[in-house]
Amino acid sequence: MFVKDYMTHNPVTVTPDRSISEVRDLLRNKGFRHVPVVDADGRLLGVVTDRDIRSAFPSFLASNEESKGQWERIARTPVEAIMSTNVVSLTGDATLDDALLILDKKKVGAVPVVNEDKRVVGVFSIRDLMRAYSQLFGLAEKGSVLIVLKNRNEIDSLSRILQALEVHNILCTRVVRPIASAYIYLRVQTFNLHAVYAILRQAGFEPVIGAGISQEG
Residues that bind another protein (CB under 8 A): 138-146, 169, 189-195, 197-198, 209-215
Task: Look up residue 189 and give its amino acid.
Answer: Q
Measured CA to CA, the distance from residue 25 to residue 20 in angstroms comes to 9
Q: How far is the CB of 147 from another protein (least distance, A)?
A: 9
Q: How far is the CB of 215 from another protein (least distance, A)?
A: 8
Q: How far is the CB of 89 from another protein (least distance, A)?
A: 34
* Strand residues in 51-108 grouped as ranges (E): 90-91
Residue 155's φ and ψ, nearest 5 degrees, are -60, -30
Q: How far is the CB of 170 from another protein (least distance, A)?
A: 9
* Nearer CB in complex with another protein: 111/170: 170
Q: Which residues contact 207 (CB under 8 A, 6 or more apart)?
A: 147, 148, 149, 197, 200, 201
Please say whether the beta carbons of 27 and 35 come within 8 A.
yes
* Nearer CB in complex with another protein: 101/139: 139
* Nearer CB in complex with another protein: 7/148: 148
* Nearer CB in complex with another protein: 101/209: 209
